[in-house]
Chain A
Amino acid sequence: MAKTIFIIGERGKTVLIYGLLKKFLSLGMKAGYFKPISKARYRLPSMKYVDPDVIAVKQALNLEDSFEDINPIIITRNILDLKSDINALRKRIEDAYNKIAQGRDVVLVESYPNLEAMTSIGLALPQLAKILNAKTVFLLNAKDRDVVDEMVDKVILHSCYFEHYGAKIDGVIINNVPVYYFERVEDVVAPEIEKLGIKVYGIIRERVRLTAPTVSDIIEVLDADVLENKDKLNNIVEDIVIGAMAPSTALRWFRRAVNAAIVTGGDRTDLIVMALETRPSVVVLTGGLYPDIGVLIKAREVGTPLLLVPYDTYTTVEKLREAQFMITPSSLKAKESDILEVIEKEIKWKELIQ
């Protein structure tokens, strides 16, 4: 029988699951991915809704399971209406899960982000945990808190909720711990959680970024035209810099950024050339303003992709910010070695599958 681990909780679940799966697969284990319920965010050309996280994990790991099996239920609008079909829903989840679990050593299950989701129709997280006979692990995000000790309260709240349904939280993973909280988390917070009888499977230090979109991802989000270097779209994008000041000042900002998307108007020849000089990941020209031929020559020389978008600079940056947190097959792969390092050094992954 497959060992099932149900990952619930805050930001970072998909990346953690991807890392664990990658790790298990590399050990020769048969590992599967399951996301029983997701929100519709993306529509395939076939008009079917898909969760982009599911696409990303499936494609990045080359999983052969169908989308329907990995993610049987997609919430489009209403949930209360589903109440009458609850048995059918459960059945769908069970059937799909069984297909995924078939012949597998371990299945990682990703939950909905919030604790209370689907409680109203009888599909609360602890109920799902029971259906899947899964070991539940709660992922906490330390960075988002001004008072880091609050995480213990959060764990107690979740634990009580699970106990209410006769389930339990087996352990926690504390994610994204800034350097200035680390001592506190390690010396005070984690022991406090363990006193509750809940294991701490890992404390993950804050890293600037564990996923990064590639230029191709950005092209898709921005619906951009590629003016130069169509064959060099695998650069990762980790930073966004806007070029709006005098070239000499702008240079200071361009230089500080690493793997940046530099955004500026298509008519700002001086800035674009200056930007290219610092070898960023990509230069995005806004306002639909086609640049000077000299700019194209320079871009070709330095090998930096040059994109043209119809939006103004502000809109472009907004869209880019969204894209930064987007999980795509290539964004998962971009920093794969970093993700695996986290799993190896900071997660007690052996205990997790015991």
Chain B
Amino acid sequence: MQTAKSDMDRLFKPRSVAVIGASRDPKKLGFGILKNIVDCGYKGSVYPVNPQADQILGLKVYKSVLEIPDEVDLAVIVVPAPAVLDVMEECGKKSVKYAVIISAGFKEAGGEGIERERRLIEIAKKYGIRVVGPNCLGILDMYTPLNASFAYWSNYKGGIAFISQSGALLSGILDWAGKVGIGFSKIVSLGNKADLNEVDFIEYLGEDPETKVILLYLESIADGRKFVDVVSRATRKKPVVLIMGGITERGARAALSHTGAMAAGGVALKAALRKAGALLVETPTELYDLAIAFDYQPIPLGSRVAVVTNAGGPGVITTDLLTARGLAVAEFAKETISYLKSKLPPMAAVYNPVDVIGDARADRYAVALEAVLRDPNVDGVIVILTPQIVTEPEETAKVIVELHRKYPTKPVLASFIGGEKVSKAIEILKESKIPVYEFPDRAVMALAGLCRYRELREYVLKIVEHVELFDVDRSRALEVIEEAKKQNRRVLLEHEAKEVVKSYGIPVAPTKLATSESEAVEIARKLGYPVVLKIASPDITHKSDVGGVLVNLKSDEEVAEAFRTIILNVRRYAPTASIHGVVVQRMVPMGREVIIGVTKDPTFGHIMMFGLGGIYTELFKDVSFRLAPLSLYEAREMITETKAYALLKGFRGAPPADINSVINILLRTSKLVTDISQIAEMDINPLFVYEEGMGSIAVDVKIVVE
């Protein structure tokens, strides 16, 4: 992929732009886009292309892109869909570097549109043109400036980049942003993502000095693995905030009809975002509240928050909200408390929240705010103001701006609750990049987002290190899988599945397949009594439900009898199941039961699961999920965040179990599915965990391949 930074600069900062399909008719997009480019103050050359016109907006019109005398960096294409392919051929011959295709009538329309999009990609590949869209709103760069879209232009420059799979959402936001004064750096409407997709843009924006925070609205993720990889690199430098459309079933349906793509399932998405270090928000309000906070304020060093207020109620509510959002209510240093006591009236509350009380003027806010900003136990501040008779909203706003300049490393967010009385003050705050919210809940949410980003950034660095495992036998595992596939099976039989995990160094209870009574007896003797017999059938997932498991068999006679019984039971309760025989397994001593599972998500790949095993798995749903491959840090965390951890640590005087062996097996499982990506599902259930130093044993293993 050629997404070198300098190269994408030709898209956002082109030296010349051709508008193919430029129109004289002000009602048409072809006119609107050309006008947008001219009006936004774009400094490069603009070439309208239209075989039927001579001049539009005072610019010379070319019959074809091939007639343009200079090089063309960017072509914006607004011709009807059937003409796009020919236009693209011409762009190719002209060596155009980037094409933004506004035209609709491709994959999203179904039918012949699908074929048209395929051809479009072919042509783009042939000539090396990178394509945005089709079926998109366009792109904007506030710093170039360039408005190669049919959206309204907002004059505010800022640090927010927005990548959206919905064009119309963008145009609405842009108009609104102009009104409320939010500043963007770059805006991209993805459209059908035929060529360039979110990953390409995140990679570029992650390095873009004009961008401080990347916002994403996505309904589908083209390549989940790459997404996680690219986002996790971007989050080390700047926050990535995502709102995902189509997470619910109904939403997915709407999203599907919208852009012809699928939303990824909830669990996989959350596991992926955790690994990527992206912040997931649920509402557009959250998205912008956070974006503004990231653009305006520094990332706090901790989660201890001070609240300064002139009203008791809002102060109390804010304190509750802080706790609910996982933030800490800062405990002030002694010096701060005594200083506040000496400076504030006796009625004021000097512990957190600091209540400067109703008659506070700006000077009292200044005393309190400076005291908490100075305090080493405070990482961020929320200032609340309600207009009362003597309150000085504007002066207080100026005080906040002043003090933030003096202490620039601690984020300050404001909530000025009111209407007309505070409107001027709000303007002052906004102009000086102090995020201000109508109600404190939004301020808390935004501050929580800042703190969460710090955690995510640290987390992303913690999970970078991976343990390399060398004592694995990949070819043996593949051999077993290939054999099953040769027999036209996707489901591995138990002895096969155990052989696969064994080749990756995971201890298993010895298990062999018997196809007759005498063979079962022979194997049982070799393994040593007592043994367990289990039905070997790819069609049966719950073996004991069909009478397919008999345990604690102690003699040849019992084994022979059990073989017959199991076959009879399964023939009766699962008559259509194909039976490959019966597996004989040596009984192993009981241990504490846990489950290690893997499922392959169509978008993000393998998701690892850990939890309480055996019959409790489905009862308690006490499980943790992570995206493979696992780092040591993640493997440990997967265990500690479940209730199974209490059981393993030693519940009510029980000795601690061998947690390290579980971590080891988690890492080996992760390595297995990463090495052999055709594994679609896998379960080690139960895994018996013994006392510290005694290891663990996989008692049953299931594997399904693609």
Contact = CB atoms under 8 A, between A and B. Distances in A.
B590 interface: no
B490 A208 contact: no
A146 B571 contact: yes
Contact of B256 (A180, A184, A278, A294): A294
Contact of A269 (B256, B261, B267): B256
A269 B488 contact: no
Interface in B147-178: none
Nearest to A180: B567
Nearest to B705: A255
A287 interface: no
A277 interface: yes
A277 B568 contact: no
Contacts of A292: 253, 256-257
A324 to B, nearest CB: 10
Nearest to A301: B114
A273 B256 contact: yes
B299 to A, nearest CB: 35
A252 B597 CA distance: 13
Interface string A289-328: 0001111111011000000000000000000000000000
B538 A294 contact: no
A295 B257 CA distance: 8
B596 to A, nearest CB: 16
Given A180-B579, A180-B581, A183-B516, A146 B568 contact: yes
Given A258-B490, A294-B257, A298-B262, A252 B578 contact: no
A179 interface: yes
A248 B265 contact: yes
B490 A255 contact: yes
B478 interface: no
Interface string A245-269: 0011001100111110000000001
A179 B680 CA distance: 28
A179 to B, nearest CB: 5
Contacts of B109: 293
Contacts of A206: 578
B252 interface: yes
A270 interface: yes
Contact of B252 (A179, A208, A269, A300): A269
Count chain A CB atoms within 10 A of each CB in B260, B491, B519, B539 and give the residue with the most.
B260
Interface in B540-569: 541, 563, 567-568
A258 B490 CA distance: 7
B260 A179 contact: no
A277 B603 CA distance: 10
Contacts of A146: 568, 571
B298 interface: no
B485 to A, nearest CB: 9
Contacts of B539: 256
A256 B704 CA distance: 7
A255 B489 contact: no
Contacts of A182: 515-516
Nearest to A206: B578
B97 interface: no
Contact of B516 (A180, A296, A300): A180
B260 A255 contact: no
A256 B491 contact: yes
Contacts of A258: 488-490
B110 interface: yes
Interface residues of B, number: 42
A257 B681 CA distance: 13
A269 B261 CA distance: 11
Interface string A179-207: 11011100000000000000000000010
B681 A252 contact: yes
B45 interface: no
A243 to B, nearest CB: 13
Residue of A178, A257, A270, A278 ringed by the most chain B CB atoms within 10 A: A270
Given A258-B489, A273-B262, A300-B114, A295 B579 contact: no
Interface string B248-263: 0100110011001110
A296 B114 CA distance: 10
A293 B257 contact: yes
Nearest to B570: A180
B489 A270 contact: no
A31 B353 CA distance: 98
Secondary structure type dominating chain B contacts: mixed
A183 B518 contact: yes
A349 B674 CA distance: 49
B706 A255 contact: yes
B580 interface: yes
B107 interface: yes
Interface string B683-706: 000000000000000000000101
Interface in A155-197: 178-180, 182-184
Contact of B582 (A180, A252, A278, A300): A180
Given A146-B571, A256-B538, A270 B253 contact: yes
A300 B488 CA distance: 25
A257 B578 CA distance: 13
A296 B578 contact: no
B602 A277 contact: yes
Nearest to B600: A255
B110 A297 contact: yes
A105 B531 CA distance: 57
Interface in A69-105: none
A180 B536 CA distance: 11
Given A258-B488, A269-B253, A270-B253, A183 B515 contact: yes
B393 to A, nearest CB: 51
A321 B260 CA distance: 33
A298 B681 CA distance: 23
Contacts of A274: 602
A297 B253 contact: no
A137 to B, nearest CB: 27
A208 B487 CA distance: 10
Contact of A270 (B252, B491, B538, B578): B252
Contacts of A259: 488
Contacts of B491: 256
Interface in B444-495: 488-491
Nearest to B516: A183
Contacts of B249: 247, 270
Interface-centre pick from B256, B516, B571, B602 (highest chain A CB count, 10 A): B256
A258 B579 CA distance: 16
**Residue of A248, A252, A257, A293 most packed against chain B (CB within 10 A):** A293
B386 to A, nearest CB: 47
Nearest to A183: B516
A256 B681 CA distance: 9
Nearest to A257: B490
Contacts of B262: 273, 294, 298
Contacts of B488: 208, 258-259
B424 to A, nearest CB: 50
Interface of A: 146, 178-180, 182-184, 206, 208, 247-248, 251-252, 255-259, 269-270, 273-274, 277-278, 292-298, 300-301
20 contacts: A179-B515, A179-B579, A180-B563, A180-B581, A180-B582, A183-B515, A183-B516, A183-B518, A208-B488, A252-B599, A255-B680, A256-B491, A257-B490, A258-B490, A270-B253, A273-B256, A273-B262, A274-B602, A292-B256, A293-B109
Nearest 8 interchain pairs by C-beta: A294-B256, A183-B516, A293-B110, A297-B260, A179-B515, A269-B253, A277-B602, A255-B680
Given A255-B680, A269-B252, A273-B262, 20 more contacts: A178-B579, A179-B515, A179-B579, A179-B580, A180-B563, A180-B567, A252-B599, A256-B491, A256-B538, A258-B490, A292-B253, A292-B256, A293-B110, A294-B260, A294-B261, A294-B262, A295-B256, A297-B110, A297-B260, A300-B110
Interface of B: 107-110, 114, 249, 252-253, 256-257, 260-262, 265, 267, 488-491, 515-519, 538-539, 541, 563, 567-568, 571, 578-582, 599, 602, 680-681, 704, 706
